[in-house]
Amino acid sequence: MKLILGLFFLFLFSNCPGQLASIKGVVYDSDNSVIPGASITIIELDAEYIGKDDGSYEINKIEPGSYTIVFGFFGFEDGKYRVELKSGQELRLDGKLGEDETLDLDEVVVVGYGTRQRRDIIGSVTSLKSEDIENSVSPSIDQALQGKAAGVQITAANGVAGGGNTKIQIRGSNSINAGSNPLIVVDGIPISNLDVSADVMGSGTNALADLNMDDIESVDILKDASSSAIYGARGANGVIIITTKKGKEGKTRFNFNYKTGIVQETNRLSLLNATDHLNLRDQVSIENTGFPEPENTVIGVFEGVSYTREDANAFAAKGGSNWIEETLRTGSFHEANLSASSGTEKNRLYFSGAYRNEDSFLKGNNFERVSGRFNVENRSHDIVSLGANLGLTYSINNRVPTGDNGGLGWAQQIPTYIPIYKEDGTFFNPAGNPIWFLENRTFEAKRLRSLSTLYADFKLHKNIHFRTNFGLDYTNLHEDEYQAKNEAGNTEAWAWERSSNILNWNTSNYLTYEVNINDEHDLNSVVGMDVQRTDVNGLGIYGYGFSNESFTNPQQGSSQSLYSYQTGNAIVSYYSRLSYKWRNKYLFGFTARSDGSSRFSNNYRYGFFPSFSAGWILTDEDFLGDSQWLNYLKLKSSYGLTGNDNIGDFTRFGLYSTGVGYVGGLALYPTSLANPNLRWERAKMLDVSVEYGVFKNKISGSLTYFNKQSSDLLLPIQLPTSSGFNVITVNAGMVNNWGIEFMLNSHNITMKRFRWKTDFNFSLIRNKVLDVANLPPDAFESGQPGEGRVIVGYPVGQTFVVQYAGVMEENGELIRYNTDGSVMVDNNGDPITVTVNAGEALFYDVNGNLMAFGVDDGGTPFDSEDDVNRFTGTDFYDNRVPRGNPLPKFYAGVGNTLTFGDFECNFLFNVVWGHTIYDDPAKNQIGMLYSYAQRPEIQGAFTPDNPSSNVPALNTTVTPINSDRFLYDGSFVRLRSLTLSYALSKRLCKKLHLSSLKVYLTGYNLWTWTRYPGWDPEVLRHVPQNSQQENISFSGPSWQTPQAKIMLFGIKMGM
């Protein structure tokens, strides 16, 4: 019995509070100043505590044992201590934090085929972490980077659900005919960003929308030759390296993130209502006849019935139509992400699943995506590490017409005095009614994508590692399109079904050797080989005429047609990189890569691309080591070559087409002349930069100058008609880009309860075409006259239009000039003049002399832009000149993060300044053409009472020509994102059995300042047909769809 009682009391007192341990102390910085509100974390207990205002802390009721104590505070290096607590012990432990780490030079940055510490990098690399994009609601990672990196300009075509096509330019436009988008690398594997969708909807698709942004750990952007030349030809336009999240050592942690909100258009184009538009028609009629437009005037014949002015008056009295309103709505947004991370010293695991559903502001447009990721790594063996990164995405995109293809594009064209519906509720004029098409035409794109990497790392020696990677990027895109029977348009129902496959595989094998000799010499070298192959194929069936519209499979149509296509390319590469560091302050680098591409013949298949770089950390020298305000200063420079083979898989070959022969059989005939001497486009790149950190690195950043000259650009050379061919593609062009990049990161205020941080980046880039082999501007068509061209001495995509001179204020005479600028004279030597009426539009010819366009000498109206100019006797468009600037003079991003206690405000402004936009629709909407809706600006047109107007007199018979009258300042300042969040304190989270809990409100594209009168100043021409159009037509929108404005609420929790 005594023994039992003894054991009972022993157990009782061994567990009473008096036997537990405690820790207390004060937290100091490196200067022995107290740190108020520091965090104290006991790793083994997964518990975090907050110090008091005087820097002291006290933690009680701790079980005896061994613990790791970590002291931390924003902007300082953590202090870590290992302690052994005994029963009843009261341990005094003062924590000390390291130097202010606002500039983390030990940060690991992902570069090509490896990682490097930031202080050792000589190349130009911009890095973003998961927290920089965690609150983004962009449909794709590229759009989430807008305004966050110097030298990187990202423009989205529109705000459709699922993301339309996006243009990414790193340090300017580098080519004319070849692709100019950067290489995208995910977990070490270059991926395909091909858009194989049928572009009949005009908005395109974005393959990067397949990546779930909650899975992304970091994004590193390689911009110069030193950093990107290791990727050779594929890195010619820069490289974006995306690294997904991996498992972390410790117990399993779950993270859940849910956000929901609404989606609207950023701006709505203003058009005249029905009454105002009809009043303008009356004004034209009064000026021409002295009377308003008669009520029996036939405005149009729809479905065989005349629609008269009397009908339009009656409809306008009821309010008229709002075509744009009928195509728009307030959309919705929902996204849920769940991830789990766990690991030991030997094994690490990360798993995630996500669901996204977005209804855009366009009726009928929806994007739904389910994605999953499984990343695992095993280090159980001392010599071998194995890993796999497996990603799977399935999405459904219900697309609607944009641009010239219907929907909103058509809705902004039709006059508001034309009805949408008949009085019985059926559609008015279904043949030309965009609302009918929205409701009776469907386009569903289903995409399945697998993005996976397998790798093994072998430790051959303490200094030598061998790594082998195998990556597979597979996409299947299945598209179903159907349009119902349109009796008014006399068209039968039809259906398309298409299936496309992209198989892109890559294997890389490389050795890494690292050694440190006597703490003075650090050597890192890489040598390896890559093989990549891409195969693309597709097939489709078209069916027409359905006896029962309940059946929409193309095979059920009364007639069918089939098509198929196949293409592919391969590249084999050998590369090496040598990095040498002496005394931890003198840095040298050399990179070399040889690429062999199937896109070139044997004569020019391989290209060699070297780079050299050097850096000097001056603050490690004695003459700067004692500086009190300059904490870090590094000078660095690089020079190298890169190549570009984004020219199309078969450009070098002679191409053939099929047709009907003389006797009705199948004929084969050549369409393109082969050029076996086609070779790589090349770029020479120089980069000079300084990195700095001042005032204990509270202010840090970089200043960079770069110069990139691209040569051997592909150009289409016109061939004589006698050759039987139109053009042959040759290497002849040259383009130069130079610029300045500036980055600044400032920790403005760092206090216990309040912190303020600013990130600023600025880019100034100048682009100039140096050589096009004497080809005329129109050799580079971008779609329509007046859009981008390629002209020596100007940027790629230079707007080429007639110069507008204003309006003739009163009837008068203008002198005619010869094409050489001399005055035309009659037989008596007197100047020849032409009568010009008040209100006519005036222009300058190529010599700067005035001319007009409206009627010829006989008084006959011109009905085409190609009519002969009555002043020079030549085509009016022969007087086109370069006008405006398609590229911004500069662009910038300004981000601020303000933290007050548990509240945080984060906002980013994006500035794009100094470029022009050619608004082609304005030509029709400020031109009083009866077939188009009109903008309010037309109400200020010239009249005898308004002679100083810059808008010509109303005229319904003359199509306004492409001139710089429709060239607008495209500069804008946009509040790209704004987030307000509240994080529950650690103490409260612990009571809820959570590791973290945050609620937030986020806005995207909330506010825009611009002088551009169109839909949205962030413009990109709808889907280009080839790389040339993409490179030179980006600043000329056509019936634009605006960007999306999104406002959402979210909750994020860790468990």
Q: Domain boundary at 96, 116, 135, which?
A: 96
Q: Are residues 180 and 241 in the same domain?
A: yes
CA angle 628, 632, 634 (to 5 degrees): 140
H runs (alpha helix) in 918-1036 = 920-925, 986-991, 1027-1032
In a domain, 195, yes or no: yes
Tokens 């094998």 — which residue? 509
Q: Are residues 49 and 156 in the same domain?
A: no
The residue that leads in pLDDT, 577 or 644, is 577
> Residue range 812-825: average pLDDT?
84
CA angle 862, 868, 872 (to 5 degrees): 125
What residues make up the domain containing 29? 17-96
The residue that leads in pLDDT, 545 or 295, is 295
Distance from C-alpha of 304 to C-alpha of 491, rounded to nearest angstrom = 15
Query: Any idea what the CATH number is for the domain that residue 42 is in?
Result: 2.60.40.1120
Q: Domain boundary at 248, 281, 304, which?
A: 248
> Residue range 9-32: average pLDDT?
69
Q: Are residues 74 and 128 in the same domain?
A: no
- Tens-digit pLDDT profile for residues 935-962: 999 999 998 889 999 999 887 766 678 8
Per-residue pLDDT at 26 exceeds 70: yes
Q: What is the number of other CB atoms lying within 10 angstroms of the CB of residue 382? A: 7
Tally DSSP H helices, then E strands, for the chain. 13, 53
Task: Give residue 674's pLDDT.
Answer: 79
Task: Give residue 661's pLDDT.
Answer: 57
Q: Domain boundary at 248, 278, 308, which?
A: 248
- Tens-digit pLDDT profile for residues 61-92: 888 888 889 888 766 778 889 888 888 888 88
pTM, full prediction? 0.87
Q: Are 373 and 390 in contact (CB under 8 A)?
A: yes
Q: Are residues 46 and 120 in the same domain?
A: no
- Tens-digit pLDDT profile for residues 455-503: 999 999 989 999 999 999 999 999 998 888 876 666 788 898 999 999 9
The band of 7, judged by pLDDT with boundaries at 50, 70 and 90, is: very low
Per-residue pLDDT at 785 exceeds 50: no
Nearest by Cα to 384 from 291, 269, 276, 465: 465
- Measured distance between the N- and C-terminal CA atoms of the chain, rounded to whole angstroms: 47
Per-residue pLDDT at 860 exceeds 70: no
In a domain, 929, yes or no: yes
Task: Give residue 804's pLDDT.
Answer: 93
- Tens-digit pLDDT profile for residues 873-903: 456 778 889 999 999 999 999 999 999 988 9
> Residue range 397-423: average pLDDT?
88
The residue that leads in pLDDT, 622 or 318, is 318
> Residue range 5-9: average pLDDT?
45
The residue that leads in pLDDT, 829 or 357, is 357
Task: Give residue 203's pLDDT.
Answer: 56
Q: Are residues 813 and 926 in the same domain?
A: yes
Q: Are residues 835 and 955 in the same domain?
A: yes
Query: Any idea what the CATH number is for the domain that residue 194 is in?
Result: 2.170.130.10
In a domain, 506, yes or no: no
Per-residue pLDDT at 977 exceeds 90: yes
Task: Give residue 428's pLDDT.
Answer: 93
In a domain, 76, yes or no: yes
Residue 234 per-residue DSSP state: G
Q: Are residues 218 and 176 in the same domain?
A: yes
Distance from C-alpha of 883 to C-alpha of 881, rounded to nearest angstrom = 6
Tokens 């409701």 — which residue? 439
- Tens-digit pLDDT profile for residues 912-937: 999 999 998 898 899 877 789 999 99
The band of 377, judged by pLDDT with boundaries at 50, 70 and 90, is: very high
Q: Are residues 826 and 936 in the same domain?
A: yes
Per-residue pLDDT at 862 exceeds 60: no
- Tens-digit pLDDT profile for residues 582-608: 998 999 999 999 999 988 888 889 989
Q: Are residues 114 and 203 in the same domain?
A: yes
Per-residue pLDDT at 753 exceeds 70: yes
Q: Are residues 71 and 119 in the same domain?
A: no
Q: Are residues 41 and 188 in the same domain?
A: no
> Residue range 953-979: average pLDDT?
87
Task: Give residue 3's pLDDT.
Answer: 43
Give percent of the chain above pLDDT 90: 44
238, exposed or middle or buried, with CB in 10 Å at 0-12, 13-18, 19+? Answer: buried
> Residue range 137-159: average pLDDT?
86
The band of 319, judged by pLDDT with boundaries at 50, 70 and 90, is: very high
Per-residue pLDDT at 256 exceeds 90: yes
- Tens-digit pLDDT profile for residues 649-698: 787 777 777 765 555 566 776 767 778 888 888 889 999 999 999 988 88
* DSSP letters for 488-522: TTTB--EEEEEEEEEEEEEEEEEEEEEEEETTTEE
490, exposed or middle or buried, with CB in 10 Å at 0-12, 13-18, 19+? Answer: exposed
Q: Are 437 and 407 in contact (CB under 8 A)?
A: yes
CA angle 583, 587, 592 (to 5 degrees): 140
* Helix, strand, coil % in the chain, rounded to nearest 5: 15, 50, 35
Task: Give residue 987's pLDDT.
Answer: 79
In a domain, 814, yes or no: yes
Task: Give the number of domains in the chain.
Answer: 3
Per-residue pLDDT at 1001 exceeds 90: yes
In a domain, 956, yes or no: yes
Q: What Cα–Cα distance (Å) separates residue 12 from each residue in 5, 18, 89?
A: 10, 11, 18
In a domain, 423, yes or no: no
In a domain, 959, yes or no: yes
**Which three-class secondary structure state does DSSP give residue 432?**
helix
Q: Are residues 81 and 182 in the same domain?
A: no
The band of 1046, judged by pLDDT with boundaries at 50, 70 and 90, is: very high
Q: What Cα–Cα distance (Å) separates residue 127 from each residue in 133, 564, 638?
A: 12, 42, 19
> Residue range 313-333: average pLDDT?
95
Per-residue pLDDT at 521 exceeds 80: yes
Task: Give residue 4's pLDDT.
Answer: 47
Average pLDDT, the chain: 85
Task: Give residue 849's pLDDT.
Answer: 87
